[in-house]
A = this chain, B = another copy of it.
Amino acid sequence: MKAIVTASTLFNVQFYDLDPMNIVWHGNYAKYFEIGRVALLSKIGYGYNAMKDSGYAWPVIDMHVRYYRPLELGRQVEVVAGIVEWENRLKIDYLLRDPQSGLKITRGHTVHVALDIETKEMQWETPPVLRGKIARWLS
């Protein structure tokens, strides 16, 4: 992952995420990506509350998930999230892997665009606030 900054988080597969095949239902991976994204944005000082204070929301406009291996109950999983684009839109890549073997479980990305909370207008350039947060990871 050629990311400017990454964050790694561990989580455990819970029973309520399983489907009748006894594996995680494919739609639940959006939650696992979010666990990684929240950790990543907190790391750069731009967590949910900082976002709100900055006057911008960052809705998802695109999501892709590629499933390599299934996940079973009780498995521990590492999610690595990294910022790969930030100039016009925010693109975050995700890798889910087995923390012991390193085996790849899932890959994916989400793309976010800044939305001015007051005017409800999409921003076609990244607002200065996020540029500021990212600056220290660029050098």
Interface on A for B, CB 8 Å cutoff?
A: 14-16, 18-23, 25-28, 30-31, 34-35, 38, 47-49, 57, 59-67, 70, 73-74, 110
Cα–Cα distance between A20 and B49 once the two chains are bound (Å): 12
Q: Please tell me how many copies of the chain the complex holds.
A: 4
Max count, chain B CB within 10 A of own CB: residue among A16, A28, A74: A16
Contact of A62 among B14, B35, B67 (CB under 8 A): B67
Interface of A is mostly: mixed
Inside 8 A of A66's CB, which chain B residues have their CB?
61-62
Contact between B21 and A59 (Cβ–Cβ < 8 Å)?
yes
Cα–Cα distance between A18 and B38 once the two chains are bound (Å): 14
Inside 8 A of A59's CB, which chain B residues have their CB?
21, 23, 26, 67, 70
Contact between B63 and A64 (Cβ–Cβ < 8 Å)?
yes
Contact of A34 among B14, B34, B38, B47 (CB under 8 A): B14
Contact between B31 and A27 (Cβ–Cβ < 8 Å)?
yes
Inside 8 A of A48's CB, which chain B residues have their CB?
15, 73-74
